Amino acid sequence: MDESRKQFEEWFKNKYHVSSDVMKIMHIKVEIAWEAWQASRAAIEITAPKFIDSREALAKGFTVDYSNGFGDAMDAYEENIRSAGIKVKE
């Protein structure tokens, strides 16, 4: 189960005060709500900051390590956003 589905199910249980067993009985309603949840997340799109290459980092007074670290951080940032079901604009 992906992270977005886990968040949705937690929200659904808390919002409607139901257990996992009740959610299984209400399968069609839960699936309709899940589709709405996914659609709401699909409408969100995050624009990631522009990558800083080695030449640009050096021109700004940073080292090449800065560029490498920035790239690694951006990869982790984008992966976490995508795992929440949100798009990262390329």
* pLDDT tens profile 5-18: 889 899 989 998 98
Q: Are residues 39 and 50 in the same domain?
A: no
Q: Which domain holds residue 5?
A: 1-43
Q: Identify the pLDDT of residue 38.
A: 87
Q: Identify the pLDDT of residue 48.
A: 83
Closest C-alpha to 10, from 26, 23, 29, 25: 23
Q: Are residues 35 and 50 in the same domain?
A: no
Q: Summarize the chain as % helix, strand, coil (round to 5).
A: 70, 5, 25
Q: Are residues 78 and 89 in the same domain?
A: yes
Q: For 52, how many CA atoms within 13 A lie in the half-sphere containing its CB? A: 19
Q: Are residues 16 and 35 in the same domain?
A: yes
What's the domain count of the chain?
A: 2
Angle made by CA atoms 7, 48, 70, in degrees to the nearest 5: 105
Question: Tokens at residue 26, please?
Answer: 């209400």
Q: Are residues 60 and 33 in the same domain?
A: no
* pLDDT tens profile 15-59: 989 888 888 888 888 899 999 988 888 888 888 888 888 899 899
